[in-house]
């Protein structure tokens, strides 16, 4: 059995007098998966000053134990490196939980309206009611989100509600008026303001960059509130085994919250912060440039901010992702539509080349196969201009990739980031089936083909977008089975792209560390690396694959310190 803190923790006997250094704690009687091919399994760990001092058999670990060393018996449980989530939005998750009118995307329209009305009743008249996340699939329902639904119950507050994909916003009339959006307001580049077919008036739904443009006009929170939101998110991530993240959209509010948390000893995560470029939800273009210029002053021991995030297209369900072949036509969408890019290809190549020249690692959001190709072309231009290939640029989501572009990831040293967890039958996949055709989607998330080509593949939860939790275990299960890890929807999604468990675990650990330039510090369990590891309630290699998604974390250790222990 797994023993609680203090239980089963005995003082070790006196070690050999020749020992030069004693461990702070040793963990014994465990099945430890190191993710090191030379020695994948060991039985004990010794930790000293936050790092792994010894990794091997029990005798090796006990050999560095001294009079004050704590010994913890793990009762035969599985231990593995901490999860590296390379696409997550902690500030959004924390704000939703602590500061906004939050609700799950499983809510029906009636439940959403009831919840938002309750929030409005508790908010002073005239102040913003903001929150989310309504399901993007509601846009295709008979009763879709519309300003009139909110107007009927909340006439005295401007209302701002984000959807489950964090790409689309639902506003009421008071919000449209306060933001100055009318029937004459033009669509911004890369965004769409939906209008009623009969009246031409805005429906209250803004897509992609139209949504992000209004986000920047909302009132800011207090610094302590941002810090509280980040710390809540860190605790939630630690509880599911995450010890390193790449924040996929970190503005200066977020980076400052990480920094202040670290100064107080409350940051329990290694963080790579991707600063927005030409797509900040909260900042001006000049502020974006200022963040880049000041990045050396903002980085710290745990927070690295030499990263950039760009948006090249939208998302398939709203037909704003850019594809090589057209979407399926329907009653409201004409034939031949292939979506649109947020950049001209030559503009993207110019920006990527300039940012690459400053030593910045770039993550480009690209959900359609045309946008993936244009992103790869931009990275190729940057490689040609600089003559270097060491920067590990990324394509975020990388779900739809042309066969001709698959080998280019490895050739250009571009990481294919898989996020969110959608490589199985699910409602969001079904909504993409409806606009693209199921035959095309069977070729999506080509994880096995990418690995065979030599590409680096990483995992991102995209939490709180789309997924209800940042837990990685359903994603690992679905990579192995390509079936619904929640056992709700039958069938599989692209079964020929299923991978083995060891490969999946590497994607979620060491590959993520590589994408963050942390492979010498974390991602696997070997002497000299930081003691970032987790203890599980089951051995993933000893159970049927369809039980992996139910895994629970019993203990999370970060830098040698316990940051989560199951009650």
Task: Give me the CATH number covering residue 517.
Answer: 3.20.20.140
Q: How far is 414 from 390, CA to CA, in rounded Å? A: 10
Residue 188 lies in a domain: yes
Percent of the chain with pLDDT over 90: 83
pLDDT digit string, tens, across residues 350-367: 999 999 999 999 999 999
Clarify whether residues 146 and 289 are in a common domain: no
70 CB burial (10 A radius; 0-12, 13-18, 19+): middle
Q: Which two tokens stand for residue 131?
A: 């929150």
Domain holding 120, by residue range, is: 100-215
Close Cβ partners of 542 (under 8 Å, ≥ 6 residues apart) = none
Q: Which two tokens stand for residue 545?
A: 């694959």
Q: How far is 81 from 553, CA to CA, in rounded Å? A: 12
The radius of gyration of the chain's CA atoms, rounded to the nearest angstrom, is 24
pLDDT digit string, tens, across residues 484-532: 999 999 999 999 999 999 999 999 999 999 999 999 999 999 999 999 9
Clarify whether residues 195 and 318 are in a common domain: no
Clarify whether residues 346 and 487 are in a common domain: yes
The domain spanning residue 54 has which CATH number? 2.30.40.10
Clarify whether residues 18 and 159 are in a common domain: no
Clarify whether residues 454 and 372 are in a common domain: yes
Mean pLDDT value across the chain:
93
* Nearest partner of 94 among 83, 102, 105, 86, judged by Cα: 102
Last residue in a domain, options 184, 215, 246 = 215
Residue 301 lies in a domain: yes
Close Cβ partners of 60 (under 8 Å, ≥ 6 residues apart) = 44, 46, 54
Q: Which of 63-77, 80-94, 294-308 has the lowest mean pLDDT?
A: 294-308
Question: What's the number of domains the chain is made of?
Answer: 3
User: Is the C-alpha dihedral spanning 266, 507, 53, 9 positive or negative?
Assistant: positive
Helix (H, G, I), strand (E, B) or coil at 417: strand
Q: What is the predicted pLDDT for the residue at 3?
A: 41
Q: Which two tokens stand for residue 477?
A: 């299960």
Instruction: Report CA dihedral (379, 381, 385, 390) to the nearest 10 degrees.
Output: 20
User: Is the model more confident about 142 or about 224?
Assistant: 224
| Sheet architecture: strand order including 78-81 | 41-42, 31-33, 78-81, 533-536, 553-558, 561-565
Q: How far is 111 from 251, CA to CA, in rounded Å? A: 32
Clarify whether residues 19 and 157 are in a common domain: no
Does a cis peptide bond (omega within 30 degrees of 0) precede residue 133? yes
- Quickly tell me which residue has 């065979």 as its tokens: 452
The domain spanning residue 186 has which CATH number? 3.10.310.70
Does a cis peptide bond (omega within 30 degrees of 0) precede residue 464? yes
Clarify whether residues 316 and 348 are in a common domain: yes
Q: How far is 291 from 181, CA to CA, in rounded Å? A: 29
pTM of the shown model = 0.90
At residue 4 the predicted structure's pLDDT band, cuts being 50, 70 and 90, is very low
Q: Which helix (H) or strand (E) holds 431?
A: helix 427-436
Residue 223 lies in a domain: no
* Nearest partner of 397 among 89, 87, 92, judged by Cα: 87
**Confidence check: pLDDT of 404 > 60:** yes
Residue 114 lies in a domain: yes
Clarify whether residues 320 and 361 are in a common domain: yes
Q: How far is 327 from 333, CA to CA, in rounded Å? A: 9
pLDDT digit string, tens, across residues 96-138: 999 999 998 889 999 999 999 999 999 999 999 999 889 888 8
Clarify whether residues 42 and 136 are in a common domain: no
Q: What backbone phi and psi angles, to 5 degrees, belong to 31?
A: -105, 100
**Confidence check: pLDDT of 15 > 90:** no
């Amino acid at each position: 059995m797994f023993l609680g803190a203090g239980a089963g923790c005995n003082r070790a006997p006196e070690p050999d007098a020749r020992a030069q250094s004693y461990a702070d704690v040793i963990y014994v009687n465990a099945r430890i998966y190191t993710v090191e091919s030379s020695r994948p399994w060991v039985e004990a760990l010794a930790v000293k000053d936050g790092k792994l001092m010894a990794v091997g058999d029990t005798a090796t670990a006990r050999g560095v134990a001294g009079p004050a060393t704590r010994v913890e018996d793990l009762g035969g449980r599985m231990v593995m490196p901490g999860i590296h989530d390379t696409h997550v939005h902690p500030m959004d998750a924390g704000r939703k939980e602590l500061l906004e009118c939050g609700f799950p995307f499983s809510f029906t329209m009636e439940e959403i309206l009831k919840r938002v009305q309750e929030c409005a009743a508790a908010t002073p008249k005239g102040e913003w009611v903001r929150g989310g996340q309504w399901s993007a699939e509601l846009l295709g329902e008979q009763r879709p989100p519309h300003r009139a639904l909110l107007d009927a119950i909340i006439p005295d507050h401007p209302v701002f509600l984000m959807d489950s994909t964090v790409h689309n916003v639902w506003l009421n009339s008071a919000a449209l008026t306060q933001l100055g959006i009318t029937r004459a307001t033009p669509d911004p580049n890369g965004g769409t303001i939906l209008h009623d077919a009969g009246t031409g008036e805005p429906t209250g739904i803004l897509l992609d960059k139209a949504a992000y443009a209004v986000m920047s006009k909302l009132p800011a929170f207090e610094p302590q509130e941002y810090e509280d939101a980040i710390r809540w998110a860190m605790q939630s991530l630690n509880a599911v085994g995450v010890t390193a993240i790449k924040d996929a959209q970190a503005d200066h509010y977020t980076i400052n919250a990480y920094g202040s948390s670290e100064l107080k000893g409350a940051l329990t995560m290694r963080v790579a912060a991707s600063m927005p470029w030409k797509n900040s939800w909260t900042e001006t273009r000049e502020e974006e440039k200022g963040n880049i210029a000041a990045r050396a002053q903002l980085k710290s021991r745990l927070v690295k901010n030499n990263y950039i995030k760009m948006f090249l297209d939208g998302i398939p369900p709203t037909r704003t992702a850019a594809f090589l072949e057209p979407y399926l036509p329907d009653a409201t969408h004409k034939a031949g539509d292939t979506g649109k890019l947020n950049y001209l290809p030559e503009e993207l190549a110019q920006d990527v080349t300039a940012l690459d020249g400053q030593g910045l690692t770039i993550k480009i959001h690209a959900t359609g196969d045309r946008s993936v190709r244009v992103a790869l072309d931009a990275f190729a231009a940057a490689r040609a201009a600089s003559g270097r290939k060491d920067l590990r640029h990324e394509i975020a989501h990388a779900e739809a990739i042309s066969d001709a572009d698959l080998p280019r990831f490895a050739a250009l040293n571009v990481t294919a980031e898989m996020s969110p967890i959608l490589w199985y039958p699910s409602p969001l996949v079904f909504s993409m089936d409806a606009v693209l055709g199921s035959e095309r989607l069977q070729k999506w998330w080509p994880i096995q083909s990418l690995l065979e080509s030599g590409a680096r593949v990483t995992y991102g939860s995209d939490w709180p977008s789309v997924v209800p939790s940042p837990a990685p275990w359903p994603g690992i299960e679905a990579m192995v089975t390509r079936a619904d890890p929640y056992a709700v929807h039958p069938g599989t999604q692209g079964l020929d792209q299923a991978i083995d468990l060891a490969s999946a675990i590497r994607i979620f650990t060491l590959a993520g560390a590589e994408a963050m330039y942390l492979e010498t510090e974390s991602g696997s369990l070997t002497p000299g690396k930081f003691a970032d590891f987790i203890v599980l309630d089951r051995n993933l290699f000893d159970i049927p694959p369809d039980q992996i998604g139910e895994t629970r974390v019993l203990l999370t250790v970060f830098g040698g310190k316990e940051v989560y222990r199951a009650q």
